[in-house]
Amino acid sequence: MMSEPVSVQAAPDELAQGPSRGQAVTAPLASNGQGTPLVEASGLTKYFPIRPSLLARMLVRQQEKTVRAVDGVDLAIHSGETVGLVGESGCGKTTLGRMLTMLHTPTAGEIRFQGNPLVGQQVTVIGDDGRPRKVPYYHLTQIVFQNPYSSLNPRKTVREILSVPLRARGLKTTGEIEAEVQFLVERVGLNPRHVDRYPHQFSGGQRQRIGIARALAMRPRFIVADEPVSSLDVSIQAQVINLLEELQAEYNLTYLFIAHDLSVIYHISDRVAVMYLGHIVEEGTTDDLFATPHHPYTQALLAAVPVVEKSARRNRILLQGGVPSPIDPPPGCPFHPRCFAKKGSICEEQLPPFFQVGNQRVACWLYDDQPVSPTAASGDSERL
């Protein structure tokens, strides 16, 4: 039997007091003082085993290997905010987003929704009547996929695609479902007369709108938007981003917005988390992080953003080498083989914890105990 849709009440506030600069912090940053996060990940880890074929095992004695896609991530996302997640391809952004929607089961770690731990695929929330009740996690969280061409079933019409989550939400009669389909299609900016068309009859931007309508159909509280505009034209990107912002204001949605386009992240995010090789290395408010990036990797990432205005250009940082393999990550700081501001042997031996630097938390030994600030103006930098 389908569960009834549940609206979730806000949890009581527990205002966080941040530690001072240079002090190691173990909890995710409660940056906006909104109390208990809507979604919180602690030590979230995902390892993918690579099993060699029987032939490879017999002939060359190849051993089983492990891809450490996400390695002990702590992240807190508050109700109504947008957290941008950035990093190079293969750093674990999508895997983290998929774990937060339980499309991937974590290898280790915990996910909490409004402070309540996820048990299997269910979580306890407070319903409209003020009573705690267990609901399937997918009622509360949804995902918008990167590729609007492959994420919609080509054999189903828009009506059929949207009817599936509506039935899961508890809508039963054909009339109820039809009314909601029409509402959703119109709300995302599509023509309601096109509900019997198939995905291939729409443009890329229109398909992404169908993907957004499908996510919205469950009336979720939290949406992971996994590079939702990266495959769209720039003009269409703006329309889809505006739509996501309108829906957020209308339905008090909370977003984890994954992208590699930093200008998109800057536009839409309240806070930004930077990932490198399965770890979050820096996290802070968008304005603070873009104005004063502290982690050497964040500095390199921001320095690579093309800026038209000459006076606004940053020192360009040329990172040496490529991203290490997540099958065999380096010991210590995962960024140490490419770091231009390495502090010393400690970088190669010990994984840095997070240190509070102003409003940011930074996983870098440079901020251990001395007020050292790495500057982009190192020997490997040049002014464009």
Interacting residues with ligand SF4 (CB under 6 A): 295-296, 333, 335-336, 339, 341-343, 347, 352, 364-366
- Residue 296 Cβ, how far from ligand SF4 at the closest point, in Å? 5
Q: How far is the CB of 166 from ligand SF4 (least distance, A)?
A: 47
Write down the least CB distance from residue 254 to ligand SF4, Å.
30
For the CB of residue 336, give the shortest distance to ligand SF4 in the complex, in Å: 4
Closer to ligand SF4 by Cβ: residue 137 or 365: 365
Q: Which is nearer to ligand SF4, 289 or 341 (CB)?
A: 341
Write down the least CB distance from residue 68 to ligand SF4, Å.
17
Closest separation between CB of residue 185 and ligand SF4, Å? Answer: 48
Smaller CB separation from ligand SF4, 229 or 277: 277
Q: Which is nearer to ligand SF4, 284 or 352 (CB)?
A: 352
The residue among 135 and 357 lying less far from ligand SF4, judged by its C-beta, is: 357
Q: What is the rounded distance in angstroms from the CA atom of residue 312 to the CA atom of residue 288?
A: 16
